[in-house]
A and B are shown apart, each in its own frame.
Chain A
Amino acid sequence: SQQGEEDPQALSIQEGENATMNCSYKTSINNLQWYRQNSGRGLVHLILIRSNEREKHSGRLRVTLDTSKKSSSLLITASRAADTASYFCATAITGGGNKLTFGTGTQLKVEL
């Protein structure tokens, strides 16, 4: 099974609304990262949160990490049509070097 599994698989919202995506993982991690992938493109790094951090902000992004529940959430506030993309969480497993394991992704559609 996947190390990281995102929920929901797909999300459709109106522009201006907030979007929340969740990620669950199974093993101890050094850090958790979120990436965005626009259709037909490579992944782009958004934000990294380390295992000793609980919350991090970057612009309209807010990430939380709960290591006791092995879960993370990504909140995009005041969404825009340009936020339409797939979002992936990726975990750097403890003892795994600099290898990342990617989740299954959430497809976000922001409608005008």
Chain B
Amino acid sequence: DAGVIQSPRHEVTEMGQEVTLRCKPISGHNSLFWYRQTMMRGLELLIYFNNNVPIDDSGMPEDRFSAKMPNASFSTLKIQPSEPRDSAVYFCASTLGRTDTQYFGPGTRLTVL
């Protein structure tokens, strides 16, 4: 069974450009989480969804960040416009109901020049 799938794995873009990160959770999982990892701030939860509905977006740093989950098998995290300080590894994770164990994707390494 495939795990959490993220694309692209690496993204290099210039400041001001729009960036879209994609995630496909494990089939049957109904909760999806977006995290950002940096050396300075560690692993931060940005937003999470239950049954495709955003539950907590308090970690989204500012209005430049937005996330959607149009269906149970797909989510996007968009940054518009991107800034150099957005450079980080972005992880998507999914879980089934209240089992609590989260399954992480391989991450997208974003570099904004």
A45 adjacent to B42 (CB under 8 Å): no
Across the interface, which residues of A come within 8 angstroms of B100, CB to CB?
30-31, 33, 48, 92, 98, 100
Q: How many A-B residue pairs have CB under 8 A?
A: 57
B95 adjacent to A42 (CB under 8 Å): no
**Chain A's interface: helix, strand, loop or mixed, by majority?**
strand
B56 adjacent to A2 (CB under 8 Å): no
Range, interface on chain A? 20 to 34
Question: Of the 9-residue stretches A61-69, A73-81, A101-109, which lies at the interface with chain B?
Answer: A101-109
Across the interface, which residues of A come within 8 angstroms of B112, CB to CB?
none
- Within 8 Å by CB of B104, from A30, A42, A105, lies A42
Q: Which residue of B lies closest to A105 (CB)?
A: B42
Across the interface, which residues of A come within 8 angstroms of B50, CB to CB?
97-98
- Does A10 belong to the interface (CB within 8 Å)? no
Across the interface, which residues of A come within 8 angstroms of B104, CB to CB?
35, 42-44
Q: Given A33-B100, A100-B102, are A43 and B42 neighbors across the interface (CB < 8 Å)?
A: no
Q: How far is the CB of B23 from chain A (nearest CB, A)?
A: 11
- Does A60 belong to the interface (CB within 8 Å)? no
Which of chain B's residues 59-113 have a Cβ closer than 8 Å to chain A? 91, 93, 95, 97-98, 100-107
Q: How far is the CB of A60 from chain B (nearest CB, A)?
A: 19
Q: Which residue of B lies closest to A42 (CB)?
A: B104
A104–B39 Cα gap in the complex (Å)? 10
Across the interface, which residues of A come within 8 angstroms of B107, CB to CB?
41-42
- Does A87 belong to the interface (CB within 8 Å)? no
A45 adjacent to B31 (CB under 8 Å): no
Provide the A32-46 mask, 1 if CB < 8 A to any CB of B, else 0: 010100000111110
- Within 8 Å by CB of A42, from B45, B97, B106, lies B106
Across the interface, which residues of A come within 8 angstroms of B56, CB to CB?
97, 99
- Does A25 belong to the interface (CB within 8 Å)? no
Q: Which residue of A lies closest to B98 (CB)?
A: A98
Closest 4 CB pairs of A and B: A42-B104, A102-B43, A43-B104, A45-B101
Interface residues of A (CB under 8 A from B): 2, 30-31, 33, 35, 41-45, 48, 88, 90, 92, 97-105
